[in-house]
Amino acid sequence: MTYTPSSQRYATMEYRRCGTSGLKLPALSLGLWHNFGHVDVLSNSRKILQDAFDAGVTHFDLANNYGPPPGSAEENFGKILHEDFRGYRDELIISTKAGYRMWEGPYGEWGSRKYMISSLDQSLKRMKLDYVDIFYHHRPDPDTPLEETMGALDAIVRQGKALYVGLSNYETPEATRAIQILKELGTPCLIHQPKYSMFVRWVEESLLDLLAQEGVGCIPFSPLAQGLLTNKYLKGIPENSRAAKPHGFLKEGDITEERLAQLRQFNALAEDRGQSLAQMALAWLLKDPRVTSVLIGASTPAQLADSLQCMHNSHFTADELAHIEDILK
């Protein structure tokens, strides 16, 4: 069956201006870090993307190494994009990144001009696109001058291969310099993508203030702390969860008795608010006007639908916020 997007797709989604740019992003964006590679079921990936767009999620976030195997998320996305979203490209914001290891040899990772431009050329081929909307440097390179990496981002925009550029995983000192260099080059930094959740709060120390001051958007990834901030772990570690897998980002050792006690208290508060734990954790990020959009993942259409419900209640009372801080202490 041919996919026809919902005529009501813009009726309920909130769109937020990205920093001081002219671009607006949906409050929730879909990340393709997991569940879109060649190891996954393509029909499931397709349904998640269709349901997301039907709900007004116009931003799909990728990277060169997403899969597994690396590159396969972009390939699958490109296939679905051309089969299902033909004619809707101008309604979409598509982003990708380069920084992590992608191929053998000295030019296959980090932040050299050689790697950055080669990687984006490969990404565009995999997705069958002429350009991406946002291209990120995925992580700082300790050995390449920041001027070279930012110069590559500037060149990519001037070549018409990306409309905007961003940073990911940059801490405040290096983000400050990178934003300044890009400003001087005439290709301002649009957005920063840091890890941020109720359990990972480093961005509050100075990064959020920097982004607001410089007119740069913020799009947190891992907002549910790799699935920890869901009802999945309330009774311990289920067999098929990320924490049960030996090579995942969430380790069994992360799930201590103290952590489980916090999760149960959060869950009780979420229930009082009429939300699931995941919905509350997403809403907690969206309460901050400095956050442009929150990157969610989804392994099933049902999980996506659950996350989308967070927008129905993103207001917190002062007492609720104080209670959250008490639990985290």
C-alpha to C-alpha distance for 176 and 129, rounded to whole angstroms: 31
C-alpha to C-alpha distance for 53 and 301, rounded to whole angstroms: 12
Question: pLDDT at position 256, please?
Answer: 85
- Beta partners for 165? 135, 189
> Tens-of-pLDDT digits for all 329 residues of the chain?
899 999 999 999 999 999 999 999 999 999 999 999 999 999 999 999 999 999 999 999 999 999 999 999 999 999 999 999 999 999 999 999 999 999 999 999 999 999 999 999 999 999 999 999 999 999 999 999 999 999 999 999 999 999 999 999 999 999 999 999 999 999 999 999 999 999 999 999 999 999 999 999 999 999 999 989 999 888 766 666 655 555 565 666 677 889 999 999 999 999 999 999 999 999 999 999 999 999 999 999 999 999 999 999 999 999 999 999 999 99
Question: pLDDT at position 251, please?
Answer: 63
CA 206 to chain centre: 20
Helix 146-158 × helix 172-185 angle, to 10°? 40
Q: What are phi and psi of 70, to 5 degrees?
A: -50, 135
Domain locations in the chain?
Answer: 15-252+278-316
CA nearest to 95, candidates 66, 59, 48 = 59
Task: Tokens 């917190």: give the residue.
Answer: 316
The CA-CA-CA angle for residues 220, 320, 267, to 5°, reads 70
Query: Is the distance from CB of 270 to CB of 262 less than 8 angstroms?
Result: no
Task: Tokens 């671009």: give the residue.
Answer: 23
Question: pLDDT at position 255, please?
Answer: 78
The DSSP H or E segment spanning 218 is strand 217-218
Query: Is the distance from CB of 270 to CB of 277 less than 8 angstroms?
Result: yes
Question: pLDDT at position 233, please?
Answer: 80
Question: pLDDT at position 129, please?
Answer: 98
**CA distances in angstroms from 173 to 138, 176, 315, listed in the order given:** 16, 5, 32
Q: Which two tokens stand for residue 10?
A: 């813009």
With 0-12 / 13-18 / 19 or more C-beta atoms within 10 angstroms meaning exposed / middle / buried, residue 88 is: middle
* Domain 15-252+278-316 listed as CATH 3.40.50.1970: no
For strand 294-296 and strand 28-31, is the pairing parallel, antiparallel, or unpaired? parallel
Question: pLDDT at position 250, please?
Answer: 62
CA nearest to 63, candidates 197, 221, 190 = 221
Question: pLDDT at position 242, please?
Answer: 59
- Beta partners for 24? 17
From the CA atom positions of the chain, what is the Rg in Å? 19
